[in-house]
Chains A and B, each alone.
Chain A
Amino acid sequence: MFAPYLAPHSPTDGDIVKKSIPPIWMERGNSEHPLGTDRFGRDMLSRIIWGSRISLLVSLVAIGVAGTLGTLLGLIAGYRGGLTDALLMRLTDIGLSLPTILIAVVMVAVSEPSFRNVVLVIALLLWPRFARQIRGETLAVKEQDFVALAVVAGRSSAWIIRRHIFPNVVPTLLVISTLQVGYVILLEGTLSFLGVGVPPPNPAWGLMIADGRGFLATAWWISLFPGLAMLLTVLAVNLMGDWLRDHLDPKLRQASGATATDAAAAMAHAPGDAPARGATAADA
């Protein structure tokens, strides 16, 4: 956010004369570039600071889009029940069962890498996670007396969802969103690393790591620092998400592994999935 004020140098303009300067504590390092420079002489520290913008922006926008779509569908499915619910949840199941990274790589690669496409593809792969949880919450809230009263009072479904249900699922929404941020940062990094993320010369962390790949033996810092930044960011977000979950929403505690890793998501999906299916079978 404060990248322009914090970064000592421009992230994209380099001085080729100053290429591959090592970090400050090494022999040829200097204080002008505390983390060294990359192979085009661009300041590493500045690029990492600017890079945080891309990671955060991609994850915030993608989660915003996925969260809105997922919440909307989850609310509708949970509130309406019956056939609508059955159809929407089958769609969600299918969405959850797709191999995320693989599909993302192919989709972005074929549709030309750009900020918009990266965000769209990630959002497309992410919304089912929201839809499933929000639907579950909605089912619980729907049973409350104040909803029944509103129905008796003749309020429309849209009004009830907006005024009574939605405010009650907001804590859950907040928790899922936070827990997904780390995952999206990793996913975005992976896409960038494979060359199908936000295109250069934007300083995306994944791209910077890939840049340094060929120079591991001579200029290891080009790959090390952006990765470290990524690790610390994701770590911080995950810890915050865990904390939020424990304090805001004890019901979600079960699904802890679900959000941090894709594999664990699939795991939580396997047992957590059955109740949803059982419920719809009973509904139908």
Chain B
Amino acid sequence: MAQYLVGRVLQTVLSMLVVVSIVFVLTRLSGNPVHLLLDVSASERDQEILTRHLGLDQPLAMQYGLYVRNIALGDFGHSILTRRPVTEHIRERLPATVELGVTAMFLSVLIGVPLGMYSAVRRGGPLDRAARVFAVLGQSMPTFWLGLMLILFFGVVLGVLPAGGRGGPLHLILPAFTLGYFTSAAILRLTRSAMLEVLGSDYIKFARLKGLPEQVVLWKHGLRNALLPVVTFAVLLFVQFLGGAVVTETVFAWPGLGRLILESITTRDYPIVQAGVLVLAALYLTGNLFVDLLYSYLNPRIRHYSA
């Protein structure tokens, strides 16, 4: 277990380093930041001073080292447009992304788990078949298109829900559903197959023989045992949302981190892009790590399982 733990943590650190390197290389490829920072009328001398100030006259390896060190210290520099520290921008936008992610996660569990459970219990029944269609569609639907169609229907045609922006709980419904549909379909499939496996087991038969009410059998004995993969999956989803939120946030004009990154790409405000990507990637990777550790803790088999 200790070996697995150390290996897994090490791998996460390596992944993070890969992301950092990708971002570093990309920003160097995207042109000289000096030209972006300075006015067109800036003299040669000004350019030289700024180049030295930014450390761009150093050898590339040195620049890279400095870059990694600054990131490790939490220093992401300043926005080119607003001149404010990048960390401030990120801190402003992160809560919106987290709010949307958490809501979407609960929504997909709320939809996926009961539907998956009942379609397993009434296997082959109308609900099972409907749930199957729901799941297959969910995995083939372009998220951004679903978002637009929801806006069209609920926002434009019916006019009952706001089409975008962040505000009260009403503003959350459409984006959270858009973000959550894809994953509620996956949770549904997962719950269904886990539940089917559990329902065929001896302890369920025994519980039924004992004469326990069917609801107790299903919820207490059945779901509880089927829930392990679902719970770990839900955590993973949340992490996934953070990365995938770029799309949903764009569709619904949701003032989160994903949209900040996209806006900054258009305005070529690369310090913000860098920091945003790194923050999201860090959340994503630590989330993955957490899930893997949780999973191996809850399910000792995978620690010793060999191919």
How close is B271's CB to chain A, nearest CB, in angstroms? 13
User: Would you list which residues of chain B between 145 and 174 have a CB under 8 Å from chain A?
Assistant: 145, 148-149, 151-152, 155-156
Residues from chain A with a CB closer than 8 A to the CB of B295 are 270-271
Stretch at the interface among B200-208, B209-217, B276-284: B276-284
16 A-B contacts (beta carbon < 8 Å): A94-B14, A98-B281, A101-B247, A106-B265, A107-B26, A186-B140, A186-B143, A216-B155, A227-B145, A238-B139, A266-B288, A267-B190, A267-B229, A267-B236, A274-B302, A279-B307
Is there an interface contact between A231 and B236, defined as CB atoms closer than 8 Å? no
Given A90-B11, A105-B262, A273-B292: A190 in contact with B186 (beta carbons within 8 A): no
Residue count of chain A within 8 Å CB distance of chain B: 64
Interface string of A86-104 (1 = CB under 8 A from B): 0000100110011111110
Bound Cα distance A235, B132 (Å): 13
Is there an interface contact between B29 and A257, defined as CB atoms closer than 8 Å? no
Is there an interface contact between B306 and A102, defined as CB atoms closer than 8 Å? no
A239 at the interface (CB under 8 A from B): yes
Is there an interface contact between A106 and B285, defined as CB atoms closer than 8 Å? no
Is there an interface contact between B7 and A277, defined as CB atoms closer than 8 Å? yes
Residues from chain A with a CB closer than 8 A to the CB of B186 are 257, 260-261, 263-264, 267
User: Would you list which residues of chain B between 266 and 281 have a CB under 8 Å from chain A?
Assistant: 266, 273, 277, 280-281
Residues from chain B with a CB closer than 8 A to the CB of A230 are 142, 145
Given A98-B281, A274-B302: A216 in contact with B156 (beta carbons within 8 A): yes
B30 at the interface (CB under 8 A from A): yes
Is there an interface contact between A93 and B139, defined as CB atoms closer than 8 Å? no
User: Would you list which residues of chain B between 176 and 196 have a CB under 8 Å from chain A?
Assistant: 182-183, 185-186, 189-190
B130 at the interface (CB under 8 A from A): no
A282 at the interface (CB under 8 A from B): yes
Show the binding face of B for A, using Cβ within 8 Å. Answer: 3-4, 7, 11-12, 14-15, 18-19, 22-23, 26-27, 29-30, 136-137, 139-145, 148-149, 151-152, 155-156, 182-183, 185-186, 189-190, 229, 232-233, 236-237, 240, 242-244, 246-247, 250-251, 258, 261-262, 265-266, 273, 277, 280-281, 284-285, 288, 291-292, 295-296, 299, 302-307
Is there an interface contact between A106 and B26, defined as CB atoms closer than 8 Å? yes
Bound Cα distance A257, B187 (Å): 10
Is there an interface contact between B11 and A93, defined as CB atoms closer than 8 Å? yes
Bound Cα distance A11, B190 (Å): 42
User: Would you list which residues of chain A between 90 and 136 have a CB under 8 Å from chain B?
Assistant: 90, 93-94, 97-103, 105-107, 109-111, 136
Bound Cα distance A282, B23 (Å): 35
| Cβ 8 A contact of A186, one of B142, B148, B246, B262 | B142
| Cβ 8 A contact of B148, one of A227, A262, A263 | A227
Bound Cα distance A105, B277 (Å): 10
Interface string of A126-160 (1 = CB under 8 A from B): 00000000001001000000000000000000000
A17 at the interface (CB under 8 A from B): no
Most buried by A among B139, B304, B306: B139
Is there an interface contact between A263 and B240, defined as CB atoms closer than 8 Å? yes
